[in-house]
């Protein structure tokens, strides 16, 4: 039994949910999100809440029950208040610049790294920090993980790209005799 899936999801004001052929669409003040859900979970939209129940009683359906509840909750939260991730760029000569729909990074390589910003995300650069915001939690997390993977923080000096709340375990360098 899923503890997350059993709970009712509250729909706030100014938010509408519609489900057609397994496609759930959530509209809110900040935008619109749509996602396809399998028919193994019954999604019922009542007055101001969403109820989920498994259609079959097998292991795969029970695993999807809580996952679908989390996805729907994130969609409702995203169209009302956007999600954000903050990345910190540390290191001498490491720079970032937003040019239109592209992010230009100088990360100590012999060439600049150019990353296309996905549709639906906004990236703001301010003095060594990147703020990635959007209404889709999955897209915000995936894009920030891709940016971080370009130059992971190293344990000796801490140079690289890290999350705002991430703690880098430092190693001691060489000891002189």
CA distance 73 to 76: 5
Domain for residue 171, yes or no? no
CA distance 23 to 38: 9
Domain count of the fold of the chain:
2
Specify whether the CB–CB gap between 61 and 40 falls below 8 A.
yes
- Domain limits for position 70: 3-80
Q: How many CB atoms lie within 10 A of CB 134?
A: 24
pLDDT (tens digit per residue) in 72-131: 999 999 999 999 999 999 888 889 999 989 999 998 889 999 999 999 899 999 988 999
Predicted model pTM = 0.86
CATH number, residue 141:
3.90.930.12
């Amino acid at each position: 039994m899923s503890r997350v899936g059993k709970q009712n999801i509250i729909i706030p004001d100014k938010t509408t949910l519609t489900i057609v052929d397994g496609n759930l669409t959530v509209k809110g003040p900040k935008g619109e999100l749509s996602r396809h859900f399998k028919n193994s979970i019954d999604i019922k939209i009542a007055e101001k809440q969403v109820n989920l129940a498994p259609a079959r009683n097998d292991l795969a359906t029970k695993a999807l029950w809580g996952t679908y509840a989390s996805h729907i909750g994130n969609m409702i939260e995203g169209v009302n208040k956007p999600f954000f991730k903050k990345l910190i760029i540390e290191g001498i000569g490491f720079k970032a610049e937003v040019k239109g729909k592209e992010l230009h990074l100088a990360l100590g390589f012999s060439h600049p790294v150019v990353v296309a910003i996905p549709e639906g995300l906004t990236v703001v650069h301010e003095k060594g920090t990147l703020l990635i915001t959007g209404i889709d939690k999955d897209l915000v997390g995936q894009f920030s993980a891709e940016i971080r993977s370009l130059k992971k923080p190293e344990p000796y000096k801490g140079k690289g790209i890290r999350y705002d709340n991430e703690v880098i375990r430092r190693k001691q360098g060489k000891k002189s005799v």
